[in-house]
Amino acid sequence: MNEEKPDGSETEERRTVLVRQYGLLPPLDWDQDCQEHLWMQNKLWNALVEIDQTARGRYFALMSAEPEVEEIEVRLLSLKEEKERLISEKKALRKNAGKKAGVDTSAQARRIAEISPEIRRLSKEAKEKRAEVRARLKPEIDQIEALRREDVKSARNASGLWWGNYNAVCASYETARIRAMKSGAELKFHSFDGTGRFTCQIQGGMTVSEFFSGERQAIVSADPVSPDAFWHPSRGERRRASRTTLRITVYTGKDAKGKPFRRMLSFPMVVHREIPENATIKQLVVSRKRVGTEFRWSATLTCTLPGDNRNPAASTSGGGSCRRVCAWPPSRRRTASATSSSRKRH
């Protein structure tokens, strides 16, 4: 149900995201085609990194073509390199002397003190100039971004991957790209060691009962789990009852006769924690991680719950705090106050 504002309009329904992760044993029907699809995801990532580097090169070439920016950048780079050289000289003098104190590095320290304010001034000026140039060259920058997006789309379509897997790779790439742009870093190519993941995005979501239906042709499914897995008083019985079989879609295709098929992969799974009945399963990710000479498997389910199901005591907006009195020793007594979600002070 949507919430209604005082003016009569409706707001979006509040939902809580719930994540569950379960352990998996090695798959029951693994074959070389599954390994190949993990490699194809790694190949797509490397193609996206190459596309990003090409787009960055076009952007920097466009920016450096502006004389006012290039002049500041050259001067700034020269001063930064000089500062790094002076710092290396100080370290080398101390290393050769075998001690830190008593080594004369005053000449290097004076020069560093002289150029540091200039570096800060030029950095600020370069930032302002780049902003001005970006505003002036916005059509050209937008064209570079449009080319990048088109290249990403082409690489995605040519990857040969199932849509759930290539969407996951592209989403990871976009997240990493934004983080790298903010920090000034660059995306790195990945070597393939067998590590990877299979992602099943469930359009419209799936109820918990549908997930544990055991349906063989569903995009994801698991055999039913007895309530004893969570509520039986015996720990041994809970462990035995929590074992089930998970089935996921690795990819889809057509056989030699042109008939569509779905490549399923099955895993023994241990459901050690219950999923609420009112949850809607949105995505399941099966991860394969190399540890030494072996691989560890896990399944991560992303679900949504209707309403705000956060713990009020854990919410920072609830004003909750804690009171603790240490009676011994008296000289080190510490106090704090606590207010519960019901506004009762303790």
Which tens digits make up the pLDDT trace of 163-200? 999 999 999 999 999 999 888 789 999 999 999 999 99
pLDDT of residue 130: 80
If phi > 0 it is left, if psi is from -120 to 50 it is alpha, else beta; for residue 258 that is left
Query: Within this chain, do residues 69 and 161 fall inside the same structural domain, yes or no?
Result: yes
The predicted model gives 16-20 an average pLDDT of 92
* Predicted confidence band of residue 317 (pLDDT cuts 50, 70, 90): very low
The answer to whether residue 276 is domain-embedded is yes
Query: Within this chain, do residues 98 and 229 fall inside the same structural domain, yes or no?
Result: no
Q: How many CA atoms lie within 13 A of 13 on its CB side?
A: 9
Question: Which of 130, 160, 183 is the last residue before a domain boundary?
Answer: 183
The predicted model gives 39-49 an average pLDDT of 97
90-95's contacts with Cβ under 8 Å and 24+ in sequence apart are none
Query: Within this chain, do residues 156 and 68 fall inside the same structural domain, yes or no?
Result: yes
pLDDT of residue 29: 93
pLDDT of residue 7: 57
The predicted model gives 44-52 an average pLDDT of 96
d(CA 321, CA 312): 11
Query: Within this chain, do residues 136 and 222 fall inside the same structural domain, yes or no?
Result: no
Q: Are 272 and 294 in contact (CB under 8 A)?
A: no
The answer to whether residue 188 is domain-embedded is no
Question: Which of 156, 183, 210 is the last residue before a domain boundary?
Answer: 183
Collect all residues with Cβ–Cβ distance below 8 Å to 63 and sequence separation of at least 6: 69, 130, 133, 134, 137
Range with the largest mean pLDDT of 8-17, 84-93, 130-139: 84-93
* Predicted confidence band of residue 212 (pLDDT cuts 50, 70, 90): very high
**How many helices (H) does the chain have, and how many strands (E)?**
8, 7
Of all residues in the chain, the percent with pLDDT exceeding 70 is: 84
pLDDT at 331 over 60: no
The answer to whether residue 2 is domain-embedded is no
Tell me the whole-structure pTM to 2 decimals.
Answer: 0.73
Question: Which of 128, 161, 183 is the last residue before a domain boundary?
Answer: 183
The predicted model gives 26-53 an average pLDDT of 96
Which structural domain, as residue segments, surrounds residue 329?
Answer: 312-346
Q: Are 325 and 317 in contact (CB under 8 A)?
A: no
If phi > 0 it is left, if psi is from -120 to 50 it is alpha, else beta; for residue 264 that is beta
DSSP element (H, E) containing 108: helix 106-136
- Decide: helix, strand or coil at residue 338: coil
Q: How many CB atoms lie within 10 A of CB 209?
A: 9
pLDDT of residue 254: 86
Q: Is 4 exposed, middle or buried (0-12, 13-18, 19+ CB in 10 A)?
A: exposed
The answer to whether residue 274 is domain-embedded is yes
The predicted model gives 52-73 an average pLDDT of 84
The answer to whether residue 267 is domain-embedded is yes
Query: Within this chain, do residues 123 and 248 fall inside the same structural domain, yes or no?
Result: no
Higher pLDDT, 105 or 220: 220
Instruction: Classify the C-alpha dihedral 198-204-205-210 as positive or negative.
Output: negative
Query: Within this chain, do residues 211 and 105 fall inside the same structural domain, yes or no?
Result: no
Query: Within this chain, do residues 252 and 134 fall inside the same structural domain, yes or no?
Result: no
pLDDT of residue 67: 78
pLDDT at 289 over 70: yes
pLDDT at 149 over 80: yes
Of all residues in the chain, the percent with pLDDT exceeding 90 is: 59
Tell me phi and psi for residue 223, to 5 degrees: -70, 150
Q: For residue 114, give both structure tokens.
A: 């002289």
Q: How many CB atoms lie within 10 A of CB 274?
A: 15
Query: Within this chain, do residues 47 and 179 fall inside the same structural domain, yes or no?
Result: yes
The answer to whether residue 160 is domain-embedded is yes
The answer to whether residue 91 is domain-embedded is yes
d(CA 302, CA 201): 10
Query: Within this chain, do residues 301 and 331 fall inside the same structural domain, yes or no?
Result: no
The answer to whether residue 65 is domain-embedded is yes
Higher pLDDT, 346 or 103: 103
Q: How high is the mean pLDDT of the chain? A: 85
Q: Which stretch of 253-262, 279-288, 336-345 has the lowest confidence by average pLDDT?
A: 336-345
Question: pLDDT by residue (tens digit) across 74-132?
Answer: 888 899 999 999 999 988 888 887 766 667 888 889 999 999 999 999 888 888 888 88
The predicted model gives 253-272 an average pLDDT of 91
Domain count, the chain: 3
Q: How many CA atoms lie within 13 A of 102 on its CB side?
A: 4
pLDDT at 320 over 70: no
Query: Within this chain, do residues 344 and 269 fall inside the same structural domain, yes or no?
Result: no
DSSP element (H, E) containing 264: strand 260-270
Query: Within this chain, do residues 108 and 237 fall inside the same structural domain, yes or no?
Result: no
* Predicted confidence band of residue 240 (pLDDT cuts 50, 70, 90): very high
Query: Within this chain, do residues 162 and 287 fall inside the same structural domain, yes or no?
Result: no
The predicted model gives 307-314 an average pLDDT of 59
Residues in the chain: 346
